[in-house]
A = this chain, B = another copy of it.
Amino acid sequence: MDADSLQPSFAEPPGRAFEVVLAWVDAQILSGDLAVGDQLPAERELARLLNVSRAAVREAVRTLQAQGVVRSSVGAGAAGGTTINALPSDALTRLLRLHVALANFPHEDVIEVRVALERLSVRLAAQNATPEQLDVSQKAIDVMADPDIEREAFNDADTAFHVALAAAAGNRLAMDTTAAIRESMRLPILDRFRHVHAWDDIVEDLRRDHEAIQAAVTRGDAEEAERLVETHIRSAWHALSYDVSAGGWLGGSER
């Protein structure tokens, strides 16, 4: 058994000590005996219970932390220990970011999936967004409107705008996946922001697109919001990838 089988099926016993722990946690979650907010047994206790070393327990806990399933704190009482937690968004973002960086997902692939998910998210946002949520996305637009804004800060606010719209969808998985995918493209997009020559033209287009999307979502026009966000993502990526002054495609990762 190798590292591909970190989550073994129950038909086959775990091969490594830390996988014994993972299998135990998995079974507890599936059976409903461990839910969000519950604490795992202490590391030493779990090691005794499962007849593995404490190091094995710790390695399993790191795996679960990477998956956003648990968090750990030192100390006695309720503050200490390892708690089942609901942190899928960060875990998704970290995972996707690394694989984007490793060129395991071609940028064009990411853009396609991003279009599908952002269409879903703005449609749901147009139907579900609260004024408070729209305030968050509007604030990001206001930040981006600063004529002296640095490209990095613009990128951060641009990301925040999209994440805010995803958050307004009222659908946890849509929110997390949409945000994670936008975040995973933060560095590639910033890299392009830094290399394009026609930045002044591009940034105006981006601003106008964002405002149009915000307006469509605000008035509840789901179809228009979908159309606008798709056009925005595609045209922005196109502009950032093809810089006339550079005479060619900046390109993305190619497989």
Q: Which residues of A contact B (CB under 8 A)?
A: 2-4, 6-7, 18, 26, 29-30, 35-36, 55, 58-60, 62-73, 84, 86-88, 90-92, 94-99, 101-106, 109-110, 112-113, 116-117, 119-120, 124, 171-174, 176-177, 181, 187, 255
In the complex the two chains form, is B55's CB within 8 Å of A102's CB? Answer: no
Q: How many copies does the complex hold?
A: 2
In the complex the two chains form, is A87's CB within 8 Å of B4's CB? Answer: yes
User: Closest 3 A-B residue pairs measured CB to CB?
Assistant: A66-B66, A116-B120, A3-B71
Cβ–Cβ < 8 Å partners of A66 in chain B: 6, 62-64, 66-67
Closest to A175 in B: B109
Cβ–Cβ < 8 Å partners of A67 in chain B: 66, 94-95, 98-99
In the complex the two chains form, is B124's CB within 8 Å of A120's CB? Answer: no
Cβ–Cβ < 8 Å partners of A70 in chain B: 3
Cβ–Cβ < 8 Å partners of A4 in chain B: 71, 87, 90
Q: How long is the Cα–Cα vector from A92 to B6 in the complex, in angstroms?
A: 12
CB distance from A140 to the nearest CB of B (A): 19
Contact among B72, B105, B171 for A173, CB-based, below 8 A: B105
